[in-house]
Structure 1
Amino acid sequence: MDFRIFTEPQQGARYDDLLTVARASERLGFEGFFRSDHYLGMGTDGLPGPTDAWTTLAGLARETERITLGTLVASATFRHPGVLAIQVAQVDDMSGGRIELGLGAGWYAEEHAAYGIPFPARRFGLLTEQLEVLTGLWNTPVGGRFDYAGEHYELVDSPALPKPTRSVPIIVGGHGAKRTPALAARFASEFNTPFASEDDVPRLYARVRSACEEIARDPAELTYSSAFVVCVGADEAEFTRRAEAIGREPGELRENGIAGTPAEAIERLGRLRAAGTERMYLQVLDLADLDHLELIATEVVARL
């Protein structure tokens, strides 16, 4: 199992805050640094205001050296797929080939209303066409042309440039029973179960494996990952303090997250690994608490 740090900057963070956490994550040996793609805080004033995911990742691409960077997940409602294809390819080049794209249908209606972004009731077709366009543009040979005629997007005689440095890994995730597994099987190199219950995780993975088999794809070609909030303390007092700092109840965190003492976190992660999880996204909610990252790296990850 490898470990990535996952942040929610819409809750209140500047670029420099994210840079500090990304550099700390890299120094401490985490495999990746990912961020959400939201423009409105949830249950907070969000001060000083939102940061754009791809603007952030472009900056981090130049100010980090090793760590994988990406979105978990970009919203298909925010960007035209042609624009997104250019952004991702450019940032991948800026990073030396360290970018991964998590892409979803979008769900937070209030942020769309707040910034004048259309929010159609039916968005799954939008997501499907975006994945078709992105992969079509990137896979078109240099010198070739790409055309696409869909219900939502039309591209005519596109030079399909620029190209990313390599085939950009695409992450698809969710809890859907049929359409999401089918999309993962068709387009993804990784399937993610965001904030699923421990019992649901193996069932969600099994659906994707079945969808792969239906299209004659080897299910082992995908990486199977999960995302959980993380809150760990060296002892009960420190854990409780960190839970209070992020406005969560210790009991609720123990039930739904990677939480408690290092021993408890290791036990939970061990069960998830046994359930098939190959990669873990640790959602860090207090970006100022770098000691938390160090504790996780030295007392949890290192022991696994």
Structure 2
Amino acid sequence: MIEVAIMIEGQYGINWERWKRLGRTVEDLGYAGLYRSDHFTEPEGPLEDALELWTSLAWLADNTERIEFGPLVSPVSFRHPVITAWQASAVDNLAGGRLRLGVGAGWQKREHDAFGFDLLDTDRRFARFEEGLEVITRLVRSERPVSFAGEFYRLEDAVLTVRSPRPGGIPVVIGGNGPRRTLPLTARYADEWNAVFLTAGKFADLNAGLDGLLREAGRQPEEVHRTLMTRGVFGRTEAEVDGKLGGVPREDLDAAVIVGTADEFVDRLGRLEEAGVRRVMLQWLEADDVDGLEAMAGSVLPQL
């Protein structure tokens, strides 16, 4: 059965009041998880509240009991992988093993320029990301001291002591659709692949390609969990859906957006499940629309 989780853009006015309300709502309504982005700002436009990632996840770990959660995704470009691994280990320990650690290379120029972080060109950015994955996976998966010597990062007999309660460590999630860089890194390092804004057909194609890459890497396809992040626009009625779209015609939306009433959601989620998706993280841009989350939980989740 496909699972449904909620994904929040943390830079879209998320403060403590909104985050606490969202956390309690997602926990109480039966969603599988709550995920969020890790950004200082949007690429353009006015600045809104942007609650810092790990502070918010620590609160979630201590104030929920059931849901899984994590970043989609946290960039190594402005978070050192050692500190990310250390924070993640502590948060997962606090949560009793419910964190899923999404990491990425970084991409947004505005936030890097504003706060003085080097984004780098694409080739070097992914070289740094691969080293960051080496550092993170070695630290969170090994209880023994580990060493590593790279261009960007170094470890020498390093070990994290407040650890995840899970014997294999925290599941590492890599997000993205790129067949040349992202999927090979997923096959080598990840416990979960999180695709982004894909239709069922496109997901199935990339999913099959990932299976091949995993076999080439000496791994079995079932070793990597398959999930998808895409926008959801839900309404009880067609008129309510149109109101949330604010006049934007549905045909102008990305084809991967799940938009409509309960029947339309169930149909689209069923097609994604057939394509191999095991969990959908619905990007919920209306952070104050708790009523919509309640309506979707009551009408969609029981049909899955």
| Length-normalised TM-score, structure 2 | 0.93
In the alignment, residue 223 of structure 2 is paired with which amino acid? Answer: E
Q: How does 1:1-304 map to 2 (within 5 A)?
A: 1-47=2-48, 49-121=49-121, 122-141=124-143, 144-166=144-166, 167-244=169-246, 248-253=248-253, 255-304=255-304
- Structure 1 distance, partners of 2:197, 2:59, is 28
RMSD: 1.6
- Structure 1 distance, partners of 2:10, 2:145, is 38
- Structure 2 distance, partners of 1:209, 1:256, is 22
- Structure 2 distance, partners of 1:302, 1:115, is 45
- Structure 2 distance, partners of 1:145, 1:254, is 46
Match of 2:255, SS state, is helix
Stretch of structure 1 that moved more, 131-140 or 63-72? 131-140
- Structure 1 distance, partners of 2:176, 2:232, is 19
- Structure 1 distance, partners of 2:14, 2:47, is 8
Stretch of structure 1 that moved more, 60-69 or 161-170? 161-170
Judged with a 3 Å threshold, the aligned counterparts in structure 2 of structure 1 residues 140 and 226 are, in CA distance, closer, same or farther, namely: closer
In the alignment, residue 226 of structure 2 is paired with which amino acid? Answer: Y
Judged with a 3 Å threshold, the aligned counterparts in structure 2 of structure 1 residues 296 and 146 are, in CA distance, closer, same or farther, namely: same
- Structure 1 distance, partners of 2:67, 2:248, is 29
- Structure 1 distance, partners of 2:140, 2:70, is 17
Once the 2 structures are TM-superposed, how far is the Cα of residue 248 of structure 1 from its aligned partner? 4.9
Once the 2 structures are TM-superposed, how far is the Cα of residue 183 of structure 1 from its aligned partner? 1.4
Aligned residue pair count: 299
User: Does the Cα contact within 8 Å between 1:234 and 1:295 map onto a contact in 2?
Assistant: yes
The CA deviation string for residues 208-259 of structure 1, in whole angstroms up to 9 with x for no partner, is 1111110221101211111110111111111111222xx8543334733110
Q: Percent identity?
A: 37
Once the 2 structures are TM-superposed, how far is the Cα of residue 8 of structure 1 from its aligned partner? 0.2
- Structure 2 distance, partners of 1:43, 1:93, is 36
Stretch of structure 1 that moved more, 126-135 or 191-200? 191-200
User: Does the Cα contact within 8 Å between 2:26 and 2:33 map onto a contact in 1?
Assistant: yes
Once the 2 structures are TM-superposed, how far is the Cα of residue 145 of structure 1 from its aligned partner? 2.4
Match of 2:170, SS state, is coil
Judged with a 3 Å threshold, the aligned counterparts in structure 2 of structure 1 residues 75 and 280 are, in CA distance, closer, same or farther, namely: same
Match of 2:303, SS state, is coil
Spell out structure 1 runs of 4+ moving beyond 6 A.
none
The CA deviation string for residues 190-214 of structure 1, in whole angstroms up to 9 with x for no partner, is 1111012343111111111111110
- Structure 1 distance, partners of 2:45, 2:298, is 31
- Structure 1 distance, partners of 2:161, 2:66, is 25
User: Does the Cα contact within 8 Å between 2:85 and 2:139 map onto a contact in 1?
Assistant: yes
Once the 2 structures are TM-superposed, how far is the Cα of residue 16 of structure 1 from its aligned partner? 2.0
The CA deviation string for residues 98-152 of structure 1, in whole angstroms up to 9 with x for no partner, is 11101111111111111222211121111111111112122333xx422210111
- Structure 1 distance, partners of 2:44, 2:274, is 35
- Structure 1 distance, partners of 2:263, 2:154, is 53
Judged with a 3 Å threshold, the aligned counterparts in structure 2 of structure 1 residues 34 and 248 are, in CA distance, closer, same or farther, namely: farther
